[in-house]
């Protein structure tokens, strides 16, 4: 995530925004053959759906991840070499995906962090990848989330929904010469009113290990020192597990990630 987007994930900074409203009426999709998770920045997918993707990957799902921006604002150092930061964050994303078990494509659209637009050019990029990767399930930011400040998360959400429409309909983008593709389900994370829960029991550590790959974000996003000790990392693991437990309580589960589910796409 970009450092301009949220407070660090510290003990006192857990975001309960997706737990205060909504009613869980759906649990555990059948493990899809292919899934595509779309995030605004490197680490957004893992923060919001990492345990779900790890569970699906372990069950044989081909998980792909699409990152909309280059993550170039993901530091508090005003003198940082941004070219090096972009390369670092891409490498971290690849390593995190490996730790999740994601064997599909890792796609970087490369838009400047903080300047993502939900315009037709970016929509075409997303729709192109949906047609190429043919996911059964797509996961992405909820663009309807109320009082959201960060434009990248909002626009990544719109690109996800708009990209699905462009990917599914035959009169969009005929110049691509790619077969239209209609996913079966969209799961929106960071949702104001989640109604679907994925049981993540047993995958808490996998999610946390995947997040630990984002070393450049330790200080800015995870509220960890740049060189954490074992007690720091143990506290981080417990913090993530506690978040999953709190979300699970909304769905009568011991551990969960929550989404807004949209079918009949």
Listed by start position, the domains of the chain span 29-263
Distance of alpha carbon 30 from alpha carbon 51, whole angstroms: 15
Neighbours of 21 (CB within 10 A): 11
pLDDT score, position 10: 40
Q: Please give the pLDDT value at position 2.
A: 53
Rounded CA separation 18/193 (Å): 7
DSSP 130-183: HHHH--SEEEEE-TT-TT---HHHHHHHHHHHHHHHHHH-TTS-GGG-------
- pLDDT at residue 13, as a whole number: 30
How high is the pLDDT of residue 21?
Answer: 61
- Listed as ranges, residues in the chain with pLDDT below 70 are 1-22
The H or E element that residue 120 is part of is: helix 120-133
Question: Which residues make Cβ contacts (< 8 Å) with residue 193, sequence separation at least 6?
Answer: 21, 22, 23, 260
Q: What are phi and psi of 251, to 5 degrees?
A: -125, 15
The overall pTM is greater than 0.85 = yes
Which CATH superfamily does the domain covering 29-263 fall into? LmbE-like (3.40.50.10320)
Q: Residues near 173 by Cβ (< 8 Å), separated by ≥ 6?
A: 124, 127, 128, 166
Question: What distance in Å separates the CA atoms of residue 140 and residue 120, rounded to the nearest whole number?
Answer: 18
Is residue 151 within 8 A of residue 114, CB to CB? The reply is yes
Contact call for residues 57 and 229 (beta carbons, < 8 A): no
Among 146, 126, 147, smallest CA distance to 37 is for 126
CA 231 from chain centre, in angstroms, equals: 27
């Amino acid at each position: 995530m970009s450092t301009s987007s949220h407070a660090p994930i510290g003990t006192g900074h857990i975001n309960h925004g997706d737990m205060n409203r909504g009613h869980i009426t759906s649990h555990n999709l059948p493990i899809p053959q292919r899934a595509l998770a779309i995030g605004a920045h490197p680490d957004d997918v893992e923060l919001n759906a990492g345990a779900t993707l790890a569970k699906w990957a372990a069950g044989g799902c081909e998980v792909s991840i699409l990152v909309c921006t280059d993550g170039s604002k993901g530091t508090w150092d005003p003198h940082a070499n941004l070219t090096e930061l972009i390369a670092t964050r891409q490498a971290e994303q690849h390593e995190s995906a490996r730790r999740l078990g994601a064997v599909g494509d890792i796609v970087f659209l490369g838009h400047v962090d903080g300047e993502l637009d939900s315009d037709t050019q970016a929509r075409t990029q997303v729709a192109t990848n949906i047609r190429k990767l043919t996911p059964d399930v797509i996961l992405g930011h909820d663009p309807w989330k109320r009082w959201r400040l960060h434009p990248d998360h909002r626009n990544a959400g719109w690109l996800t929904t708009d990209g699905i429409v462009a990917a599914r309909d035959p009169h969009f983008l005929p110049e691509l010469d790619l077969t239209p593709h209609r996913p079966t389900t969209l799961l929106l994370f960071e949702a104001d009113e989640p109604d679907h829960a994925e049981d993540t029991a047993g995958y808490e550590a996998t999610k946390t290990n995947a997040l630990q790959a984002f070393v450049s974000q330790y200080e800015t996003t995870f509220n960890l020192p740049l060189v954490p000790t074992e007690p720091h990392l143990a506290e981080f693991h417990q913090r993530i597990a506690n978040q999953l437990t709190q979300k699970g309580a909304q769905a009568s589960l011991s551990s969960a990630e929550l989404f807004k589910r949209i079918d009949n796409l």
